Amino acid sequence: MRFPRSSVFKLLCLIILLEAVLCQETAQIMKDKASLLSFREGIVSDPHRALEDWNSLGVHVCNWSGIKCNKARDRVVELDLSGKALGGTISPSLANLSSLHILDLSRNFFKGRIPGELGTLSQLGELSLSSNLLEGSIAAELGFLRKLVYLNLGSNQLTGEIPMPLFCNHSSSSLQYLDLSNNSLSGEIPLPDGWELKHLRFLLLWSNRLVGQVPAALSNSSKLEWLDLESNMLSGELPSEIIRKMPQLQYLYLSYNRFVSHDGNTNLEPFFASLVNASNFQELELAGNNLGGDLPPIIGNLSTNLVQLHLDTNRIYGSIPPHISNLFNLTLLNLSSNLLNGTIPPKLCRMTKLERVFLSNNSLSGEIPSAFGDIPHLGLLDLSKNKLSGSIPDSFSNLSQLRRLFLYENLLTGTIPPSLGKCINLEILDLSHNQISGVVPSEVAGLRSLKLYLNLSSNHLHGLLPMELSKMDMVLAIDLSSNNLSSTIPSQLGSCIALEYLNLSVNSLEGPLPDSIGKLPYLQKLDVSSNQLNAQIPVSLQESLTLKKLNFSFNNFSGNVSNNGAFSLLTIDSFLGNAGLCGSIKGMSNCRKKHNHLAILPIILSLLITPIFCVFGYPLMHRSKFQKHLAVFDQEDSGDDEEEGKKEHKYPRISYEQLIEATGGFSASSLIGSGGFGHVYRGVLQDNSVIAVKVLDLKTDGDILGTFKRECRVLKRTRHRNLIRIITACSRPNFKALVLPLMSNGSLESHLYPSHGLKDQLNLIQLVSICSDVAEGVAYLHHHSPVRVVHCDLKPSNILLDEDMTALVTDFGIARLVKGGDEKGPTNDSASFSSADGLLCGSIGYIAPEYAMGKTISTEGDVFSYGVLLLEIVTGRRPTDVLVHEGSTLHEWVKSQYPRRLDPIVQQALDRCAADLMPKQYNKVWRDVVLELIELGLICTQYNPSMRPNMQDIAHEIGRLKDYISSPASFLIDEIDLKVEAP
C-alpha cells in the first residue's frame, strides 16, 4: 500500500517538530542533567521509586520527580527529594547545579560526609539535609553560601566543632534559620564578640556536646524568635543580659545544661526580669540545671501568651508565688523535683487553661485545693511525693478530661470519694502510700476507662474486694496490697482480660484462690502473699503460658504442688508459710505417695512397642559432633517433606527412647525453660553431646500442630550463622519435639535481667555484637533466604547465645513464609492472614501497631520489633513494665525523652555496661554508640511502616557500629589528626 505524498510530508514535519521539542534541552540544562544523573549513581536504595522517571526517554529533565526549573526551563533551580527513604551518599556533582535555589534531601538515609563542594552554590537560599545518617565534621565551605537563608543539618551523626564561617562570614548576614541540633557537635558556639547575626530568627543547637557560655554576641540577634540550646554542657550564669535584648523571643529552651542562677546560684529574679519585655513569649524550659533560688513574684509579669513552663529537676526552694496565676494562658506547669515548700496557692487554679500540672517530689504541705476541680481541661495532675494532708477533694468529679491522677506518697486521710467514678476518661489512678481509710467505692472500682493501672496500695482500706473491679477489662495492673481488705477474691476478676499484674498481698483475704485468675491470658505477675487464703492452688495457674512471678507465701494453702509449667522457675520462697503444701519444689516436703499398680502399665507397654525414630535434621554449629548433612522429617507431614525424609533415610537416627534417656525422662531437673507452646529440656546423648529438646504441649489451645510444622519448614529451608539450626524433629501422635543445639550462654533475656539466673551483665561491645548478629540473621530471612520469612516474634527470650556469645535467632513457631527468593508462587504459609485470624502476631510490647488494625504481617513488622528490642537493650526496661509504670509504650516513652532528656538513659546504659572499666578516652565512643542505638530504635519503630528502614540497611548500620566500638582507637586517632589539621 502506498501513502499519498502529502501524508509523507506531514509525517516528516511531525518528526522534525518532535526533534525540535527534544532539542529544547540546551547545553546548560544538559550539564544540570548530567550532574543529577551523577548524583543518582550514588543512591543505592530507592524503595518508593522516587527517581524512576529520571532519564526516561522523552521526559524533559524539568519534569523529573523532585525537580523544578526556572521559567525558561534551561536551569534547575530546585531539588526536593525529602522523605523518599533514599539511601546512599550525596554526590559532590550537585555543586554543578549553579542556579540551584533550594536543595532539600531531608528525612532520608544518606550516609557519609557532607560534600564541601556544595559551598560553591552561590544562588542557594535553602539547604536541608536533616534527619539522615550523615557523619563527619561540617564543611567550613558551607559558610560561604552568600544567599543562604535556611540551613538545617539537624538529626544526623555529625561530629567535631561548628566551623566558625557558619557564624562569622559576610554570607551569614542573610541567615534566618540555623538548625544543627541532635548531632554530636563539640566545642563552643563560635560567635566572637562584636559579630552580628542581625537577621537570625531561629537557632537550634539542642542535643549536642557544646561547652562554654552562651556567647555575648548573640545579644545582637534582636530578631531571634526561637533559641534552643537544650541537652548540651553549657555553663555559666543564665544568659539574662543576652535574653534581655531579644524582644521578639517566643521559645527559649535551656534545659539539661550546667547553668546556675545569679549571685552564686541563689537569685532567679534577674533572669525572669530579662524575659518581661518579650511580649509574645510562649514556652520556657529550664529543667535539669540544678538552679538555686526561690521563685520570684516577677514570674507573674511574663507574657500572658506563655503556654508552657518547665522548671523541674532543679534546686528551687521556697513557696510557689501566687503571682504565677497571672499566666492565665498556661497549659503546662512543671515544678516537680525541686525543694518547694509551703501550701499550694488556691490562686494557681485560676489558670483555667491548664492541661498538665506537675508538682511532685517537693515538700509541699497542707490540703489539696478543691479549686483544682474548677480547671475544665485538666488532663494530668501529679502531686505525688509531697507532704499533703487532708482528704481528696470531692470536686475532682468535675474533671471530665482527667486521664491521670497521681497522689501517691503523701499524708492524705479520709476516704476515696465515690465521685471519682465520674472521671469517665481516667486511665491511671494512683493513691498509694497514704493514710486513706474506708472501703473501695464501687463507683471507682467500676471505672471502665482505667486502661493502665489502679494503685491503692499501702493505705488503711477495709471491706470487701468490689465485684465491680471486673469491669476494668482494659486495665494492665491492679495493686491493692498492704491494706485491710477481707472476705474472698471474686472470681469475676477473670473478666479483666488485659491484666498483666495483680497484687493483693498483705490483706485479710480468705477462701480459695479463684481458678479464673490463672486463666487470665496475659497475667505475668501475681502476688497474694500474707493473707488467709486456703484450699488448693488452682491448676490453671500452673498451666498459664504467661505467668513469670508468683507469690503464695504465708497463707493456708494445701495440697500437692509440682514444679511443672509456670511453677518450673519458682523456688520455695514463693510458697513459704503454707504448712499444708507438699510437692516437688526444692525445699518443700514430699507428698505421701499413693501406690497405683495400674500407673506403671503404660510405661511397660511403651518399652515393648517398637521404637519410633526421629530422623536427624540440620547439623549443629561447626564445633558440634554432628558433621553430616541431615534432613528434617515429620512423620505426619506429606508431600515434599515425606519424599525428602525417604531420601534421607541413610543418615543416622535417634529414637524417642534415647530422648527420654538423655533428659532423664523429661524430668523437672532437666527443665531449662518454658514458653508459649511447651517446655525445653536439657539433654545429654550417649556420646556426651549436649542438646536442648523443645517439647510442644499438645494440650495447649491453638494451632499447635501448625506451629510445629511451621518451625520445621522454616528451620529446614534457612541456613545462616545467626539462625538456630535444628538437629532433629520428632513427631508421634502424642508427642512433638524439636531437638536443637544447647546454647551454653542461655538467652539474651537472661543477661538483660539477671534475676533470671545469670549475674554477669553484658558490656556494650557484646551488646552491639549481639544486635548485629540478630540484624544479620533477620536480614537473611527477609532478603536472602530461598523463601522469604517473617519471624513475627523477635524478643530477648528468642535470641540465644552460644559459647562465643554469638547470637542466634530462634523460635519460629509463628513465623510466616512469604513469596520471594526462589519461590515461583505463594506458599501454603503466605502472609495473607491478619491479627483477626486469631493468631497473635508476636508478643505484647513488640507487636507492630499496624497489626492491631488488622493489617497483614510484613517484614516491616519485624523491623518494628527489632527497634523495640534495641530500645529495651539500651534502657534495660521491659516494654510491658514501661506500659504499666509510664503509661505508654517503650518507644513512645523513649521518644518523649528524645532528645532533651536522654542523658539519664544514656548514663544508666553505660553504668549497666561497665563503661567505667574502659579507658577514659573511650567514654565518648561508648556514649556515641548508645545514642545511635536509641536513634536507630526510634527510626525502626516509626508508626508508618513505609518509613521504617529495611533489615538489610539496619544490618549494615549496626555492622558499622560494631566495627566502630570494637576498635575505637583507630577512630580516636583519626579524630586527633583532624583536629591537628584544622585551621
Domains, in order of start, for the chain: 481-584 (3.80.10.10), 612-742 (3.30.200.20), 752-983 (1.10.510.10)
- Across the range 466-486, mean pLDDT stands at 92
At 17, the pLDDT band (50, 70, 90 cuts) reads very low
Q: What average pLDDT does the segment 455-471 reach?
A: 94
The pLDDT, as a whole number, for residue 532 is: 96
Q: What are phi and psi for residue 245, nearest 5 degrees?
A: -95, 20
* Least confident window among 645-649, 755-759, 946-950: 645-649
Predicted confidence at residue 222, as pLDDT, reads 93
Dihedral of alpha carbons 851, 857, 860, 863, sign: positive
Please name which of 924, 917, 904, 936 lies closest in space to residue 965, comparing C-alpha atoms: 924
Task: State how far the Cα of 648 lies from the Cα of 494, in Å rounded to an integer.
Answer: 50
pLDDT of residue 674: 67
Percent helix, strand and coil across the chain, each to the nearest 5: 35, 20, 45
Percentage above 70 pLDDT, the chain: 81
pLDDT digits (tens, 9 = 90+) for 381-399: 999 999 999 999 999 999 9
Q: What is the pLDDT of residue 630?
A: 27
Residues classed as catalytic: 793
According to DSSP, the β-strands at 209-212 and 184-187 are parallel
pLDDT interval class at 25 (50, 70, 90): low
Average per-residue pLDDT for the chain: 82
Q: Are 281 and 275 in contact (CB under 8 A)?
A: yes
Closest CA to 422 of 436, 443, 451: 443
pLDDT at residue 917 greater than cutoff 70: no
pLDDT above 70: residue 932: yes
User: Rounded distance, CA 843 to CA 845, Å?
Assistant: 6
Nearest to 242 by CA among 278, 217, 267, 264: 217
Residues 6+ apart with CB under 8 A from 905: 874, 875, 894, 897, 934
CB 618 within 8 A of CB 719: yes
Cα distances (Å, whole numbers) of residue 623 to 620, 632, 689, 741, 744: 7, 20, 11, 11, 13
736 is in an annotated binding site: no
Q: How confident is the model at residue 348 (pLDDT cuts 50, 70, 90)?
A: very high
**Each residue's pLDDT tens digit, 664-675:** 888 877 887 766
At 715 the pLDDT is 65
| pLDDT attached to residue 622 | 31
Can you give the pLDDT at residue 758? Answer: 43
pLDDT score at 648: 35
- Least confident range from 625-629, 863-867, 882-886, 938-942: namely 625-629
Is residue 295 within 8 Å of 323, Cβ to Cβ?
no
Mean pLDDT score, 578-594: 87
User: Looking at the chain, how many residues does it have?
Assistant: 983
User: HSE on the CB side for 54, CA within 13 Å?
Assistant: 21
Over residues 136-181, the pLDDT tens digits come to 999 999 998 989 999 999 989 999 999 999 888 755 578 999 999 9
- Going by pLDDT thresholds of 50, 70 and 90, the confidence category of residue 312 is very high
When pLDDT is cut at 50, 70 and 90, the band that residue 916 belongs to is low
* 19 vs 54: which has the higher pLDDT: 54
Determine the pLDDT at residue 689.
Answer: 80
Quote the pLDDT of residue 5.
54
Asked whether 944 and 85 are in contact (CB, 8 A), the reply is: no
Instruction: Read off the amino acid at residue 841.
Output: C
Taking the whole predicted model, whether its pTM rises above 0.75 is answered as no
Q: Taking a C-beta distance cutoff of 8 angstroms, is the pair 514, 494 a contact?
A: yes
pLDDT for 1 beyond 80: no
pLDDT over 60 (residue 640): no
Model confidence over 800-859: pLDDT tens digits? Answer: 998 889 999 887 656 666 544 333 332 333 222 223 233 446 778 888 887 766 677 889
Name the one residue in this structure whose C-alpha cell is 504441649: 697
pLDDT at 599: 45
Confidence of residue 629 (pLDDT cuts 50, 70, 90): very low
Residues 577-586, mean pLDDT to the nearest whole number: 92
Residue 607 — pLDDT band, cuts 50, 70, 90? Answer: very low
pLDDT tens digit sequence for 402-458 = 999 999 999 999 999 999 999 988 989 999 999 999 999 999 999 988 888 899 999
In terms of pLDDT, which residue wins out, 554 or 786?
554
CA distances from 410 to 50, 365, 441, 730 (A): 58, 9, 20, 60
pLDDT higher than threshold 80 for residue 541: yes
Which range is least confidently modeled, 47-51, 251-255, 974-978?
Answer: 974-978
Burial of 331 (0-12, 13-18, 19+ CB in 10 A): middle
Q: Is the pLDDT of residue 965 over 60?
A: yes
pLDDT, greater one: 496 or 821: 496
pLDDT for residue 955 is more than 60: yes
CA distances to 267, 820, 895 from 876, rounded to whole Å, are 39, 36, 16
- The answer, yes or no, to whether residue 24 has pLDDT greater than 70, is no
